[in-house]
Chains A and B, each alone.
Chain A
Amino acid sequence: MSPDATVPAGLAGVAHEPGVAKPDPILVVDGLRRAFGGVRAVDVDHLEIPRGLITGLIGPNGAGKTTLFNLLTGFDRPDEGEWTFDGRSAAGVPAYRVARDGMVRTFQLTKALSRMTVLENLMLGASQQRGEHILRALLPWGWRTQEAEVRDRAEGLLARFKLDHMRDQFAGTLSGGQRKLLEMARALMVEPSLVMLDEPMAGVNPALTQSLLGHVKDLRDVEGRSVVFVEHDMDVVFDISDWVVCLAEGRVIAEGPPASIGANPAVIDAYLGATHDHSALREERRRRQAARGDA
């Protein structure tokens, strides 16, 4: 397939094919494999994630999206493979260092810190806190000023994510959708250069989804961060992605701007099986849109 006009400037001229090289990738993956028993969960030959853009990662259930996140962020170890983040090799780096280096992920199954308040959840996220050192922790005047700054930043994010009224509640009392919001806000406290969101909209109500989408776009447009997000709702994917990567059975089977993905036969095959044609995917989209209209 040939490049088209709807892609952002950074990706102009990039071919729409799996494993294609990008002009300025923030993350480059090579020969990454992870098997669970006989299941090849991830089997990626080459993948580049563009800097400063939003990349949608799609694929049917069990395609290996979460496993890929786990590997790249140091939460799981690959059988083999190399990858660089921001030009530096990131393979074998422990998860906490990956986060400190600027690649921060959220979890598909949210991990709210239940018996801590919503505000504390956020404040935890801030990096390089002086008071997190055991000896300095004993001398509050050494970290109070920074703590106040962290609190201000946390409250700002809470307001942005409409969680400020829950500020002093235990995070364990939040609803599923609120936990998604909390986790995304908390990840932003780290000030990452690359945010990896695993199904950030799952369980979030449609009205809120719109504002969440706005936040994700802001990450790119206002704060200049790179975003990778996993999402099953194709409307969302097509709405905000600059680039879409489709995984199936661990492999990258298609890449391209959103417009090219919906019509890609490999993607349709992966989602619906080889017997269906394009109209089935379009029909599915129409059905979902109708359902959303009702809600």
Chain B
Amino acid sequence: MIETLFFDALRSAIGPTAASYALLAVGLNLHFGYTGLLNFGQVGYMLVGAYGLSITVAVFGGPLWLGLIVGMLAAVVLSIILGAPTLRLRADYLAITTIAASEILRFLVRNTGSDDLTGSVFGLRQFAGEFYDWSPFAPGEYLGPLGFNANRMWVTLVGWGLVAALSAMVWTLMRSPWGRVLRSIREDEDAARSLGKNVFLYKMQSLIIGGVIGAIGGMVFVLALQNVTPDMFLPQVTFFAFAIMILGGTSTVLGPTAGAVLFWFLLTGLQSGIRGVVDAGVIPGITGGQVVGAVSLIAVGLLLMLLMVFRPQGILGDREELRLDVS
């Protein structure tokens, strides 16, 4: 029982979904952790990445590489549309605009009117074939008790490879003078302006790069599932990404990775544990899968609250830095 629970949790923590969420959080960390931009619609970037890829391949029969480029370009366009009117205004305007835009996008792809393009509620499939053709893994079982098949191995490897590469990119950027300007904007954008920095331009660059990283997360997510449906992109995804970023340590390069692994380990472990308890009929009156999902989310919420009480800076964060945040 404990053993299944542990392996369930581990399977999820190192799997492609955790890698996708790590990517969402890497992008969000660039926005929020380093630039101070409040993006409450990271799931919107995930959506345009996922649909950009799957529409190009499944509907128009384009090659995989074109799908990847379309997905990323869609994130660039979304950033410009969202950022151009709001980045000159106070931070909360971007927050409202991004959360609204991500929901509008979800309704758009869900709408029956978009059936030909997005498959509306049923979504799209058959866009991942070429991706798995590239897999170097021979069919079979991998990672012992975790039981990954060849496809899962491949998408997991690519997912975490991207997390590593993009984290390294963020690390390089943040140690450069460009990163210094970004952090100065987070601290006080008027001070940055008074020193001759074009604040709007840097905010836009940050929004675009973080958004594209989110879109890449979306592509990994749907490549792993080999299908895409609108309701994968509920607003709660953004809040999971925020939770992951804070859990790992905001404004740290490895925080999103640590956060994603821990978050999915806890969430899946709790789900598995609670399912075990419910199935055993130990608690009278409680049955069914609905309850498992809800209760485990409540439990994760409680764990996050405890973490915030005892380690408010997250796993890898700097306590001193956090203290200065308030003053």
Check A115 against B183 for contact (C-beta < 8 Å): yes
Prevailing SS type, chain B contact patch: helix
| Nearest-neighbor residue (CB-CB) of A127 within chain B | B196
Check B324 against A131 for contact (C-beta < 8 Å): no
Interchain CA distance A215-B178 in the complex, whole Å:
30
Known contacts A116-B180, A170-B321; is A96 also within 8 Å of B188 by CB?
no
Q: Restricting to B224-256, which residues have a CB under 8 Å from any CB of A?
A: none
Check B176 against A140 for contact (C-beta < 8 Å): yes
Check B195 against A143 for contact (C-beta < 8 Å): no
- B169 at the A/B interface (Cβ < 8 Å)? yes
Interchain CA distance A106-B195 in the complex, whole Å:
9
The residues of A that contact B194 with a CB separation of less than 8 Å are 73, 75, 95, 99, 104-107, 111, 187
Which of these, A74, A107, A132, contacts B177 with CB under 8 Å? A132
Interchain CA distance A145-B327 in the complex, whole Å:
35
- A160 at the A/B interface (Cβ < 8 Å)? no
Number of interface residues of A (CB under 8 A): 42
- B320 at the A/B interface (Cβ < 8 Å)? yes
Check A186 against B195 for contact (C-beta < 8 Å): yes
Interchain CA distance A123-B190 in the complex, whole Å:
16
Interchain CA distance A130-B177 in the complex, whole Å:
8
- B77 at the A/B interface (Cβ < 8 Å)? no
Interchain CA distance A75-B189 in the complex, whole Å:
11
- B173 at the A/B interface (Cβ < 8 Å)? yes
Check B178 against A113 for contact (C-beta < 8 Å): no
Write the nearest CB–CB distance from A123 to chain B, whole angstroms. 7
Interface string of A180-200 (1 = CB under 8 A from B): 000000110110000000000
Known contacts A96-B199, A125-B195; is A131 also within 8 Å of B178 by CB?
yes
The residues of B that contact A124 with a CB separation of less than 8 Å are 180-181, 184, 192, 195, 197
The residues of A that contact B199 with a CB separation of less than 8 Å are 96
- B325 at the A/B interface (Cβ < 8 Å)? yes
Which of these, A107, A112, A190, contacts B196 with CB under 8 Å? A190
Check A131 against B197 for contact (C-beta < 8 Å): no
Number of interface residues of B (CB under 8 A): 32
Interchain CA distance A138-B177 in the complex, whole Å:
10
Check A143 against B324 for contact (C-beta < 8 Å): no
Write the nearest CB–CB distance from B272 to chain A, whole angstroms. 39
Interchain CA distance A134-B172 in the complex, whole Å:
11
Check B195 against A75 for contact (C-beta < 8 Å): no
Check B320 against A111 for contact (C-beta < 8 Å): no
Interface string of A139-166 (1 = CB under 8 A from B): 0100100010000000000000000000
| Nearest-neighbor residue (CB-CB) of A106 within chain B | B194
Check A115 against B196 for contact (C-beta < 8 Å): no
Q: Restricting to B177-227, which residues have a CB under 8 Å from any CB of A?
A: 177-181, 183-184, 186-188, 190-199, 205, 209
Interchain CA distance A268-B175 in the complex, whole Å:
54
Residues of chain A at the chain B interface (Cβ within 8 Å): 73-75, 94-97, 99-100, 104-107, 111-116, 120, 123-125, 127, 129-134, 137-138, 140, 143, 147, 170, 172-173, 186-187, 189-190
Known: A96-B196, A130-B177, A187-B195; 6 extra A-B contacts, CB below 8 A, are: A75-B194, A113-B188, A114-B324, A131-B177, A132-B181, A137-B179
13 cross-chain CB contacts under 8 A: A105-B194, A107-B190, A111-B194, A112-B191, A113-B188, A114-B324, A116-B180, A116-B184, A120-B183, A124-B180, A137-B176, A189-B195, A190-B195
